Amino acid sequence: MRLRSAWAQEVSLPRLDVDIRFERGEELWTEIIAKFTPDQVADELRSGGFATETTFTNDQGRYLFHPGPAPSVIVAGTSRR
């Protein structure tokens, strides 16, 4: 999904001390959709310093829920290999 700037503008994020300039028509990606295996999700979480203790999935193995200390991570549309 993407957001497109209707006009040239500058957006301020004062808590981050950041100003971002967008030209008219410039797009900002708000999400990237990808499919991951359960092992890929666990590896990705580990690389970010999170531990995988429990994994819940539906009967078809298409959705995973990895509860964590905070925040929890919900991954939809996983693939199985």
Instruction: Give residue limits of the domains in the chain.
Output: 1-32, 33-81
Given a cut of 90, whether residue 29 has pLDDT beyond it is no
pLDDT digits (tens, 9 = 90+) for 31-69: 777 777 788 888 888 888 877 777 777 788 777 776 655
Tokens of 41: 């999700």
How far apart CA 50 and CA 44 sit, in angstroms, is 9
Backbone angles phi, psi at 30, to 5 degrees: -105, -15
pLDDT digits (tens, 9 = 90+) for 6-25: 999 999 999 889 999 999 99
Segment (H or E) for 39: helix 38-47
How far apart CA 6 and CA 55 sit, in angstroms, is 42
Q: Quick one: pLDDT at residue 80? A: 47
How far apart CA 23 and CA 4 sit, in angstroms, is 9
